[in-house]
Amino acid sequence: MQNAIENAKCHVPVTLDIDGADETLEASVPPQTDPTEESIDLDAEAFVSPQDDSSHSESLVDKLNDQMMESVMISDSPNSEEEDVVPIDSLLEQNEEEEPKTPDDADTEERIEDVRNKDVSAAEPEEASGALFKEENEGEKIVQVDDKRETVAPDDPKPEAPKTQESALEMDSDSTPKDEAVPVCTIFSQGVQLKAQALIPDGFQPTLVKSPSFTIGNTETPNKLVPQVCQPSPSLSKFFTDSSAVNPASDFFDSFTTSTSFVSISNPNAESPKAAAPPESPLVSAPTAAGTYFTPVATKPQVAPAEPMNKLQAVFPSGDDPFGSALVTSDLDKRRDAWLPSEDTRRVLISVATQQVSPVQIDREQLAMPGLKFDNLQGDAVKDLMQRFLGDQAAMKRQVLSANSVEQNFLGLKRLISTKNWRAAVDLTGRLLTAHGQGYGKSGQPTNHTTDSLQLWFVRLALLVKLSLFQNAELEFEPFGNLDHPDLYYEYYPTVYPGRRGSMVPFSMRVLHAELPQYLQKPQETLDRLHRIKSVCQKILSNLQEGLAEDGSMMNLTQDNRLASIQLWRSRLSRVMYSMANCLLMMKDYMLAVETYHSIIEYEPEQRVQLLSGIGRIFLQIGDIRTAEKYFQDVEKGCQSKGKTCLCFCDCDVVHRAFVYLSQNNYADAHTCFSSVLELDPKNPVANNNAAVCLLYLGRLKESLGQLESLVHKDPALYLHESVLFNLTTMYELESSRSTQKKQALLEAVACREGDSFNVQCLKLV
Amino acid sequence: MQVKGQSSAADKMDVSQAKQEHLLALKVMRLTKPTLFTNMPVTCEDRDLPGDLFIRLMKDDPSTVKGAETLILGEMLTLPQNFGNIFLGETFSSYISVHNDSNQVVKDILVKADLQTSSQRLNLSASNSAVSELKPECCIDDVIHHEVKEIGTHILVCAVSYTTQTGEKLYFRKFFKFQVLKPLDVKTKFYNAESDLSSVTDEVFLEAQIQNITTSPMFMEKVSLEPSMMYNVTELNNVSAGIESESTFGRMSYLQPLDTRQYLYCLKPKPEFAEKAGVIKGVTVIGKLDIVWKTNLGERGRLQTSQLQRMAPGYGDVRLSLELIPDTVSLEEPFDITCKITNCSERTMDLELEMCNTRSVHWCGVSGRQLGKLSPSASLSIPLKLLSSVQGLQVHQTQTSSVGFYHAYIAEAKCSSQEILFSSQDVEMKSESE
């Protein structure tokens, strides 16, 4: 108890600081910081010891500057300027002689360079002649602010201060909210107290999942108000640490998540009033840890939340009736979950439904038995880079949310996603799935699926794809096969989901599953899978049009229902076609891609302009400028005929013209066009970036750089983007020999804004 | 022809070394066309766990297409990220930047960019006049362009000379090597329009096979045959359907890597050359192919083949052509053909007709008949009677053998029913030159 509180105390400042950082992101930099002081600070950090840096210089140099041309050899002979034709052979020979020297020279050079820079910057901290120096200062300012927060934090009386756990020190720490005034916290601290007494120090994984319905109750309150979820209660932790083959964790977990899933998790926005119970509701103030955690049980308040664990468990197996009333499958669910299983799967499902076969008897090979294939991978590449280039001290200032610093539930997960901490979010999904019994090494073991567990899998896999960790995603997708195992359908669980039909696998997960192979050089597989999805979509649509239910059964749907369903499935169909077209484009099968994009217009008429314009760009990419122009004209005609005069359409007209100029090597006019877009819409990122690119081709490097730099400064939210940074760093490399320095300044800017999912490659530091 | 990492190491070294001894740094970057940024859409539906998070992230992303975020091809331009390949006929463009890394003003800077090929050295700098002074942190920028006309190693030689504040004159050079590759493989083949019965046209067909041997798709903007003065050309690569003519390649306007396309051209001798059969003889120049292609965002390339030469068919002294022959004939019923014999030699000929039967085709008439004298360039039409004894189509193509014997060949026919047979005729001529 004492221990716990102490722990909490020492962690609180850190957590506060994390949120402090968040705040400063929104708030502009306070003016009172003293730039002089800081730039000294920065310089001290900016340059690591010379040896250190030179060790990087080689690898750095190896990978970078690809667009720089091969330098053959150097002759610095000041007097020999020959006009004559040098025979190529002789040049080449010289080249070969020169090359072996290269690394050494570069090394020593780097060292010298760094020492010099260090001296210079230390001596003249206020030099600030280039824009870059300013930038460094600004980055520093932000960090500086964080520091202040950090020191101030402990005394900060603000009650809404978030209680989140600090990542690095986590594992066995509990954060007990110190402020008892907040009702929610009270409950938690009580829970913790109880637990703390019985707490056995070892072996805990902070994997506990808070009940989804509880989460929902808090959705309206800002994140900061949500108290940290604490350690599992002893009984629970036993559950979760037990890795015996019986897998009780999953059994237990299933039972509680399923009960709430429709009401809360899968329909976060369609929550029932019960789930949205205010924090002071009796269930939340339940005195036992179990009660606090497993509020799902209490989605119906009359089910005593205070019941001890064993009793709860007892309730579940026989709990059909109490829940039956809650399980009103909404039309929304029915429409969303509809899917056509394969013939084999359908047979199994029918036999389960007619109770000819109990799920236990079903061959294991027919079941999906997923498990994490890797755990705790993630980390933060931005921080690693900072450590490498700016030193540990600077890296310390980098603070992002980690899986530990948010609520261990869907809400926390969403927070991680929206703050672009996708790596941490992957970690968190891993924990939540572990709690569900589908953790590391559990692949191949029978398990029960729920709406929630599949949503978690979907989020996890989607994030892995977003992070370009395709191999990992493929590995973890593998046990799901074709997403057609009988146990991935609601009908397989007639007691848990009475009356519910259709697929537990979200449609988006099917699309993701189909899209994945193309990133692993198997585009044909992607197309096959997409075609399979497409044919199911079409079949469902034709069922609906024939007056049947989605799955082809005779069922009376109301007209509204039918129309809504048709709309949903048409949009899904168009999503699949988009994926196909995108895949074909990646395969460079341009003609089919164009055809497919074209056919999407029928389904998404409001995207006609974007699609035609996109097709035009495809033709530009091929080099077929005439056809591209034809498409661009179509867009304009379409706009005119509709009489739309809004800004964006004028824009696209000008942007099209700019692209055509660009492909005619007429960079001057292209630049004028992009600039004229900016007059109407100064914040247009595309026009800004493209105008800068045109400037470079016009030989106006400094102007181009200036434009991009000022963009990144003025509106980092928009311009600290991969594409812009790629351009900026490329120009730094072209501009001077001090590009590394300037890139480091960018790194600092990135560090105080971007989450752990930032793709550091675009900084071209490594 | 990727530039290897080592190259940039060398590049880096240059800079450093330049700085050690020099106040200016020289950087060179090849300017291929920018590319369009593609993003990777991952979507979910409202009712999935992330709710609207994914779509919101995509909408906030500046590189997505607003309103159609699932479209991967955005509008954001990205600068070239590697040297890439350069092909014969393309334009080599490069940015040359000379930056004053020092903190002193540098004077009289002269930047020179030369391109050294295996056969020549070209000056590519836009201007050859010196810049009078360059302040610290300032740049001299130059963008050079050069249409590459040679295959193989090219070396860009950049030389910088300048004067320091102390009046010291300094000079350094940097070399950038790159390989120019062949973009296309062009094969040509001539066909002589011998079997055109309506007239002796001397038409020549040219088939050109063009293969894309680069690694990226190529849009063929123009593939045309520029004929030599003796010929008129008709391009046979369009099928006219109504007003609009459609390419024989369909809507595929581009060539994928390693794809081959066949272009066909028909060449007709201009009347003044066609009149005299003897004029077009031996090796003749037909013309050359002019090929213009485009790749990413209009990166342009253009190549011309060398003059295509064709060996005019060797008619020798006597040329036999068929003027009239039925498409189908009945079995065992005589039919008529008309042959035309032209004297292509410079002398008068005395001709004798000798008829040799084959197993299937039999002559009706007298063999060893004298046809009389034929003066140079004159021709003679002879009607002949044949009989076919075998059903079907036979193609006989016998080669011109020893002097004096000319085996003509014919193969014509179509089948429609059993009663009709195909005949092939074999005419053997014997001529004696005087």
Place of tokens 């193609």: B395
What is the average per-residue pLDDT within A626-638? 88
3 state DSSP class of A653: helix
Q: Calculate the average pLDDT of chain A.
A: 65
Residue A83 has pLDDT above 80, yes or no: no
Residue A298 has pLDDT above 70, yes or no: no
Q: Which two tokens stand for residue A123?
A: 């001596």
User: Minimal Cα–Cα distance from A556 to chain B, Å?
Assistant: 24
pLDDT tens-digit profile of A37-71? 333 333 333 333 333 333 333 333 333 334 444 33
Residue B8 has pLDDT above 90, yes or no: no
- pLDDT given at position B316: 65
Q: Residue B347 burial (CB < 10 Å; 0-12/13-18/19+)? A: exposed
CA distances to A61, A247, A479, A657 from A445, rounded to whole Å, are 48, 9, 10, 59
Q: Which of A321-325, A473-477, B101-105 has the lowest mean pLDDT?
A: A321-325
Q: Minimal CA–CA distance to A3: which of A153, A175, A233?
A: A175
Residue A567 has pLDDT above 60, yes or no: yes
Is A102 within 8 Å of chain B by CB? yes
CA distances to A265, A336, A507, B43, B390 from B48, rounded to whole Å, are 9, 10, 9, 10, 78
Q: Which two tokens stand for residue B301?
A: 């390339």
| Of the partner residues B70, B101, B136, the one whose CB lies closest to the CB of residue A737 | B101
* Full DSSP string of A305-341: TT--HHHHHHHTTTTHHHHHTT----HHHHHHH----
- Would you give the DSSP letter of residue B334? -
Q: Residue B306 burial (CB < 10 Å; 0-12/13-18/19+)? A: exposed
Radius of gyration over every alpha carbon of chain B, rounded to an integer in angstroms: 35
Q: Minimal CA–CA distance to A163: which of A396, A407, A401?
A: A407
- pLDDT given at position B278: 52
Which residue(s) pair with B322 in the sheet? B339
CA dist B178 and B176 (Å) reads 7
- pLDDT given at position B328: 81
CB A733 within 8 A of CB A64: yes
Q: B56 and A418 in contact by Cβ < 8 A?
A: yes
Q: Minimal CA–CA distance to B30: which of B76, B84, B78?
A: B84
| Of the partner residues A418, A617, A718, the one whose CB lies closest to the CB of residue B36 | A617
Residues on chain B touching A106 (C-beta within 8 angstroms)? 9, 12-13, 16
User: Minimal Cα–Cα distance from B71 to chain A, Å?
Assistant: 7
The B residues from 33 to 92 touching A (CB cutoff 8 Å) are 33-38, 40-51, 53-54, 56-57, 60-63, 65-68, 70-83
Is A542 within 8 Å of chain B by CB? no
Q: B45 and A507 in contact by Cβ < 8 A?
A: yes
Q: Residue A701 burial (CB < 10 Å; 0-12/13-18/19+)? A: buried
Is B30 within 8 Å of chain A by CB? yes
CA dist B117 and B103 (Å) reads 37
Is A644 within 8 Å of chain B by CB? no
Element (H, E) at B179: strand B169-181
- pLDDT given at position B434: 31
Residue A31 has pLDDT above 50, yes or no: no
Nearest CA in chain B to A762: B81
User: Minimal Cα–Cα distance from A632 to chain B, Å?
Assistant: 14
Which residue(s) pair with B295 in the sheet? B299
Between strands B349-353 and B329-330, the pairing is unpaired
pLDDT tens-digit profile of A703-762? 999 999 998 888 888 888 888 999 999 999 888 778 888 888 888 888 888 888 888 888
The A residues from 404 to 443 touching B (CB cutoff 8 Å) are 410, 413-414, 417-418, 420
Is A611 within 8 Å of chain B by CB? yes
What is the average per-residue pLDDT within A500-527? 94
Q: A730 and B29 in contact by Cβ < 8 A?
A: yes
- pLDDT given at position A173: 37
The A residues from 333 to 352 touching B (CB cutoff 8 Å) are 336
| Of the partner residues B45, B73, B81, the one whose CB lies closest to the CB of residue A508 | B45
Is A205 within 8 Å of chain B by CB? no
Residue A144 has pLDDT above 60, yes or no: no
3 state DSSP class of B219: strand
Is A582 within 8 Å of chain B by CB? yes
Nearest CA in chain B to A216: B49
Q: Minimal CA–CA distance to A294: which of A213, A238, A365, A354?
A: A213
What is the average per-residue pLDDT within A604-613? 90
The B residues from 346 to 405 touching A (CB cutoff 8 Å) are none
Q: A662 and B298 in contact by Cβ < 8 A?
A: yes
Residue A268 has pLDDT above 50, yes or no: no
- Position B235 confidence tier, pLDDT thresholds 50, 70, 90: confident
User: Minimal Cα–Cα distance from B275 to chain A, Å?
Assistant: 42
Q: A648 and B66 in contact by Cβ < 8 A?
A: yes
Is A505 within 8 Å of chain B by CB? no
Q: Which of A548-557, A720-729, B97-106 has the lowest mean pLDDT?
A: A548-557
Residue A239 has pLDDT above 70, yes or no: no
CA dist A156 and A344 (Å) reads 63
DSSP collapsed to 3 states, A399-446 = CCCCHHHCCCCHHHHHHHHHCCCHHHHHHHHHHHHHHCCCCECCCCCC
Residue A643 has pLDDT above 60, yes or no: no
User: Minimal Cα–Cα distance from B137 to chain A, Å?
Assistant: 8
- pLDDT given at position A448: 86
How much of chain B, in percent, has pLDDT values that exceed 90?
26
Residues on chain A touching B67 (C-beta within 8 angstroms)? 606-607, 609-610
- pLDDT given at position A192: 34
Q: Which two tokens stand for residue A536?
A: 């199911």
Contacts (Cβ under 8 Å, ≥6 apart) of A92 = A72, B153, B177
pLDDT tens-digit profile of B279-293? 556 677 888 999 999
The larger pLDDT score, comparing residue A483 to residue A182, is at A483
Residues on chain B touching A267 (C-beta within 8 angstroms)? 47
Q: pTM of the full predicted structure?
A: 0.66
- Position A376 confidence tier, pLDDT thresholds 50, 70, 90: low
Q: Which two tokens stand for residue A138?
A: 């600004």
Is A730 within 8 Å of chain B by CB? yes
Residues on chain A touching B171 (C-beta within 8 angstroms)? 76-79, 81
User: Minimal Cα–Cα distance from B388 to chain A, Å?
Assistant: 53
Residue B408 has pLDDT above 50, yes or no: no
Is A762 within 8 Å of chain B by CB? no
Q: How many CB atoms lie within 10 A of CB A93?
A: 12
Residues on chain B touching A334 (C-beta within 8 angstroms)? none
Residue A99 has pLDDT above 70, yes or no: no
| Of the partner residues B70, B101, B159, the one whose CB lies closest to the CB of residue A736 | B101
CA dist A204 and A242 (Å) reads 11
CA distances to A624, B231, B308, B358, B366 from B429, rounded to whole Å, are 56, 32, 34, 14, 13
CB A253 within 8 A of CB A209: yes
Q: Minimal CA–CA distance to A454: which of A579, A292, A299, A337?
A: A337
Which residue of B75, B101, B123 is the best one to mutate when testing the A interface, meaning the one whose CB has the most A CBs within 10 A? B75
Q: A81 and B159 in contact by Cβ < 8 A?
A: yes
Q: Residue A355 burial (CB < 10 Å; 0-12/13-18/19+)? A: exposed
CA-based angle A474:A475:A479, to the nearest 5? 100
Q: How many CB atoms lie within 10 A of CB A81?
A: 12
Place of tokens 């899933």: A261
Residue B318 has pLDDT above 70, yes or no: yes
- pLDDT given at position B313: 64
Number of A:B CB contacts under 8 A?
382
- pLDDT given at position A79: 36
CA dist A236 and A251 (Å) reads 12
The A residues from 547 to 576 touching B (CB cutoff 8 Å) are 575
Q: Which two tokens stand for residue B218?
A: 């190529």
Q: Which of A53-57, A260-264, A706-710, B314-318 has the lowest mean pLDDT?
A: A260-264
- pLDDT given at position A359: 66
Residue A660 has pLDDT above 50, yes or no: yes
Q: B159 and A266 in contact by Cβ < 8 A?
A: no
pLDDT tens-digit profile of B108-141? 999 999 999 988 899 888 777 888 888 888 888 8
Complex-level ipTM beyond the 0.85 threshold: no
pLDDT tens-digit profile of A465-476? 999 999 999 999
What is the average per-residue pLDDT within B66-88? 90
Residues on chain B touching A76 (C-beta within 8 angstroms)? 17-18, 21-22, 171-173
What single-letter amino acid sits at A171?
M
CA-based angle A185:A187:A192, to the nearest 5? 90
Choose from A462-466, B62-66, B200-204 the range with maximum mean pLDDT: A462-466
Is A625 within 8 Å of chain B by CB? yes
CA dist A360 and A357 (Å) reads 8
pLDDT tens-digit profile of A151-206? 333 344 444 434 433 333 333 334 333 433 333 322 233 333 333 333 334 433 33
Which residue of B1, B6, B12, B172 is the best one to mutate when testing the A interface, meaning the one whose CB has the most A CBs within 10 A? B12
Is B290 within 8 Å of chain A by CB? no
Is A511 within 8 Å of chain B by CB? yes
Choose from A355-359, B143-147, B410-414 the range with maximum mean pLDDT: B143-147
